[in-house]
């Protein structure tokens, strides 16, 4: 059995799980913490992108979580603790009752990731996104609409931050995310790989709603404050989301959801005008939560 009972919060075998929140701030050197049943299900089914190193589970939840444990690598230790020990180790009441320590994948070069994608692939690219909720939301939307990758510039936050993983419902652990590049290099790399780069920007005169799915495309999202630099927009196809006009703006993750729905095959409207109720993966409409 890989299930190892632990009685003391200071047991060295679970030291990596100690004071989760404080360590969020200092980083984890190639490792990440994932929490909750749905996220861990995505971790163990991530097709080898991220390797789980261990799990820490409240003893009363072991039986219910057996399918997730069974899907993890056979040699991966599962530490079982009482709820009080779990709360004490984590540093706060951990109602979800399940944590995993995982190894971040070694990031690939963007060009290598892009070269593997198909002729109708859609990817998301983002500049200067610091907010972890927004990073998580962008990954969740990318996964929901089957985007081939999320490419971050070198001013974005770390998607493997605990909160981003949680908000993404584990999508961070499944969607390829190449090594970050400076924004200008990112745009050139996309163009060299024959992706049309669509810059979502309020300065555009072409509305998103006029576009249809088709061809290799990158949806480029700007930072929450200043947005994309004009010099970058000039090298892309600028497209905007028409709004009511008397209110401020859309959140960047909401923008990604709208653009992905409009420009992936999952939108159900093909370029030839033919109707398809099925998504990219050939599956019917997926759950909305």
Interface positions with a second copy (CB under 8 A): 38, 42, 133, 137, 140-141, 143-146, 169-171, 174, 200-202, 204-210, 221-222, 224-225, 227, 240-255, 257-258, 261-262, 264, 266-269, 275-289
**Minimum distance from residue 208 beta carbon to a second copy (Å):** 8
Residue 74, both tokens: 């056979």
**Residue 212: Cβ within 10 Å count:** 13
Of 15 and 243, nearer to a second copy (C-beta) is 243
**Residue 93: Cβ within 10 Å count:** 10
Of 48 and 277, nearer to a second copy (C-beta) is 277
**Minimum distance from residue 266 beta carbon to a second copy (Å):** 5
**Minimum distance from residue 166 beta carbon to a second copy (Å):** 12
**Minimum distance from residue 144 beta carbon to a second copy (Å):** 5
Of 63 and 210, nearer to a second copy (C-beta) is 210
Q: CA–CA separation, 170 vs 201, rounded Å?
A: 28
Measured on CA atoms in the order 204, 208, 209, 213, is the torsion positive or negative? positive
Between β-strands 31-35 and 98-103, what pairing exists: parallel, antiparallel or unpaired? antiparallel
Of 75 and 248, nearer to a second copy (C-beta) is 248
- Reported residue count of the chain is 289
Q: CA–CA separation, 275 vs 268, rounded Å?
A: 6
Of 17 and 145, nearer to a second copy (C-beta) is 145
- What torsion do the CA atoms of 281, 283, 288, 289 make, to the nearest 10 degrees? -70
| CA angle in degrees (0–180, nearest 5) for 86-44-259 | 105
Of 89 and 137, nearer to a second copy (C-beta) is 137
Residue 41, both tokens: 């299900």
């Amino acid at each position: 059995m890989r299930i190892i009972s632990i009685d003391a919060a200071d047991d060295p075998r679970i030291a990596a799980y100690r004071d989760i929140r404080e360590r969020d701030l200092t980083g984890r050197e190639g490792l990440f913490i994932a929490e909750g049943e749905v996220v861990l299900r995505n971790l163990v089914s991530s097709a080898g992108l991220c390797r789980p190193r261990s799990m820490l589970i409240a003893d009363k939840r072991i039986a219910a979580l057996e399918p997730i444990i069974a899907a993890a690598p056979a040699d991966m230790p599962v530490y079982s603790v009482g709820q009080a020990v779990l709360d004490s180790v984590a540093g706060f009441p951990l109602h979800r009752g399940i944590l995993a320590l995982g190894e971040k994948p070694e990031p690939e070069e963007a060009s290598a990731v892009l070269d593997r994608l198909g002729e109708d692939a859609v990817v998301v690219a983002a500049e200067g996104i610091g907010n972890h909720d927004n990073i998580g939301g962008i990954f969740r939307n990318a996964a929901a609409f089957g985007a081939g990758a999320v490419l971050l510039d070198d001013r974005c936050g770390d998607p493997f931050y605990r909160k981003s993983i949680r908000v993404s419902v584990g999508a961070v652990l499944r969607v390829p995310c190449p090594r970050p590049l400076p924004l200008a290099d990112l745009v050139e790399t996309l163009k060299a790989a024959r992706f049309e780069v669509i810059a979502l920007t309020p300065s555009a005169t072409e509305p998103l709603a006029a576009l249809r799915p088709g061809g290799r495309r990158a949806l480029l999202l700007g930072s929450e404050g200043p947005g994309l630099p004009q010099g970058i927009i000039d090298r892309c196809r600028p497209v905007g989301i028409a709004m009511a006009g008397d209110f401020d703006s859309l959140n960047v993750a909401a923008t990604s959801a709208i653009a992905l729905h409009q420009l992936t095959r999952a939108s159900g409207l093909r370029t030839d005008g033919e109707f398809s109720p099925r998504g990219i993966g050939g599956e019917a409409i997926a759950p909305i939560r």
